[in-house]
Chain A
Amino acid sequence: MAKDDAVHAEGLVKKFGDVKALDGLDLVVPKGKVVGLLGPNGSGKTTTVRILATLLKPTEGTAYVNGFSVEKQADEVRHSIGLTGQYAAVDEFLTGRENLRMFGDLYHLASSYVKERSEELLEWFDLIDAADRPAKTYSGGMRRRLDLASSLIAKPSILFLDEPTTGLDPRSRLGLWGVIESLVAEGTTVLLTTQYLEEADKLADDIVVIDHGRVIAHGTAEVLKDQIGGDRIEVTVADFARVSDAQAALIPVFAGESMVKESMVSGPVTGGSTVLVDVVRLLDAQNIAIADLALRRPTLDDVFLSLTGHGAEDEVRN
């Protein structure tokens, strides 16, 4: 039943002039879950979030957030959600504390509650020492934290995080992941868009892969990895000129299509680690020297590549 899900969208279409940003997208986020929306730039991730956050009206289709229609019950939807976009949307001339107060007031919350909640969030996000400095003076990571804190002021049950860690250094990214994990532990539902597959792998219960405004795969990270096959072998040859000889020599071990990237040959294999011995033998017979040899589980990057034919961070424009 559509109204029991945190997010339930069916057949979303969004046209900007002649460009179809969304082309019949279906999306379900069950209550209390983290769903990662994955796709290259321009695939429709942000458009989806903007429709669900009532910032855009869909051209076609229906969407319910917390059981409320995004078109007909926008205010009820807005009361249920917190939105953190790709850009730290805080007033940089106001201090951290003033920003939280402003957003709390705009949610029409009692000022005693806003005060108490602000202090709590400032402490939790490690912003107490900076609370009375204008946000202009904050580092990128601090601004993102203030941005996220601002969307949490009304304790929303559903959080939309649109590329929350894009542009952050690894340490700040880890810190933000920690915060998101503890919010989820408290029962917050999260819809997360990201280009970082590692992020989706770490945080999301379910992953929805979209491309050209349509869902092309969904499931847990493990299911998606299994879909494209099991283990892969990666052989880097010492002499770049012999990389295609190596690819030809290894045909007997590959269980599917192999590919060449610079001086590395990779492809799906079966049979576990014994295959490593075969690889060494086959290449030795052709006098091809090996610089590096590895057997690995597929990553979400592989999933992405095999599903869309391009990497996650490549630009796509139709």
Chain B
Amino acid sequence: MSEMRTLTTSAPVAMSRPLLGWTIHDSIVIARSTILASFRIPEALFFQLIQPVIFVLLFAYVFGGAIPIPGGDPGSSADASLYRQYLMPGIFGQTVAFAAAASTVGLAEAMQKGIIDRYKALPMSQSAALIGNTFANALRQILVLAVLSITGYIVGWRINDGILNAVYAYLLLLLFAYTVTWVGAFVGLSVPNTETANTAGLIWIFPLTFLSNAFVPLDSLPGLLKAFAAFNPVSSLVLATRELFGNPTGYAPGVEPEFWSLQHPIAYTVISCTVVIGIFAPLAIRKYRTVSRR
């Protein structure tokens, strides 16, 4: 420690208040720090980038031949390639669903380490810590989706319906990522510690992604599960991206899905994302105001 000395900086200079209050400014500060920090956590980067790539390889080469896609020719090499086209949007959907994990674990850690207490003692916007965190974790999915798309391209996946529709598909995936990060934020603030956040806090993501059309056509599921899967937003998201990318949808040509949610997958995805954010964002912000380290 250096010798005692008077600090020389002049009095603190406040910035002028922006038009929309401090919420946007503070959210950007938090988002910037969250993204910066995430690149320094090798485990998290691995989890986010390598795991979906492994999934692509496993599904494409291990299960690929075993899962028949309507419109294909079972057992043929053309059928295996068709499954890879069918598979990739499923992997995209599953991967963005796991964006929730980063918010759950990140906020549980921030709470346990007293960082949320520190934020709360600052004259900052009280929702910015959550808006910034969820936004950063959704934004990070751009990198993840880029890596996945390249991997997909290598195993034979293609964008078949033009760039504009592909952009819509990616935007829909990012909207879904942003939606689940709010659920993840609420879970992260509700669990007692980081250990629970890492286990029980993430368990809901597995049924969410597997009880869907991400890996198998919906018609292969038994009745009740099929109905659940049809209204699972992961299914509508995956179907919408399959359509937008021009990939096989899992339905034979001319066959309409029997559920409304899948007849209008884009609309259903946007509506369900809006509803879920509308419920979980206020819940998470209210939770944030009341949680404390002890």
Contact = CB atoms under 8 A, between A and B. Distances in A.
Given A120-B7, A186-B7, A98 B33 contact: yes
A260 B11 CA distance: 56
Contact of A46 (B15, B32, B122, B294): B294
Most chain A beta carbons < 10 A, residue from B9, B10, B113: B9
Contact of B9 (A81, A116, A175): A116
A175 B3 CA distance: 10
A186 to B, nearest CB: 6
- How many chain B residues sit at the interface, stated as a range, is 35 or more
B4 A181 contact: yes
A140 interface: no
Given A81-B121, A109-B12, A113-B9, A56 B33 contact: no
A106 B115 contact: no
A126 B293 CA distance: 29
A89 interface: yes
Contacts of B123: 75, 78-79, 107-108
Contacts of B117: 50, 55, 83, 85, 89
Contacts, number: 121
Interface string A125-169: 110000000101000000001000010001100000000000000
Interface stretch (B34-42, B84-92, B229-237): B34-42
B113 A87 contact: yes
B159 to A, nearest CB: 35
Contacts of A185: 4
A89 B114 contact: yes
Contact of A106 (B8, B13, B122): B122
A81 B121 CA distance: 8
B270 to A, nearest CB: 33
A109 B113 contact: no
Given A109-B14, A120-B8, A94 B113 contact: no
A257 B207 CA distance: 69
Interface in A77-94: 78-79, 81, 83, 85-94
A178 interface: yes
A307 interface: no
B25 A91 contact: no
B122 A125 contact: no
B131 to A, nearest CB: 13
Interface in B176-206: none
A53 B120 CA distance: 9
Contact of A102 (B7, B11, B29, B293): B29
Most chain B beta carbons < 10 A, residue from A87, A93, A112: A93
B146 to A, nearest CB: 22
Interface of B is mostly: loop
A106 B26 contact: yes
Given A81-B121, A83-B118, A91 B37 contact: yes
B121 A78 contact: yes
B255 interface: no
A239 B66 CA distance: 85
B101 to A, nearest CB: 16
A83 B29 contact: no
Contacts of A154: 12
B6 interface: yes
A86 B121 CA distance: 14
A145 to B, nearest CB: 8
Nearest to B123: A78
Contacts of B33: 91, 94, 98, 102
B13 A113 contact: yes
Given A85-B114, A98-B33, A179-B1, A106 B119 contact: yes
Contacts of A145: 1
A254 interface: no
A105 B117 CA distance: 17
Contact of A175 (B1, B11, B37, B293): B1
A194 interface: no
Given A85-B118, A87-B113, A178-B1, 15 more contacts: A78-B121, A78-B122, A83-B118, A83-B121, A85-B117, A89-B118, A90-B115, A106-B122, A112-B13, A124-B2, A125-B1, A150-B118, A155-B7, A155-B12, A178-B4
Nearest first, the 4 closest Cβ-Cβ pairs linking A and B are A93-B37, A89-B114, A182-B4, A175-B1
15 contacts: A46-B294, A50-B292, A53-B121, A83-B118, A85-B118, A88-B114, A93-B36, A106-B30, A106-B119, A106-B122, A108-B124, A110-B13, A110-B15, A136-B40, A155-B12
Interface of A: 46, 50, 53-56, 75, 78-79, 81, 83, 85-94, 98, 102-103, 105-110, 112-113, 116-117, 120-121, 123-126, 134, 136, 145, 150, 154-155, 175-176, 178-179, 181-182, 185-186
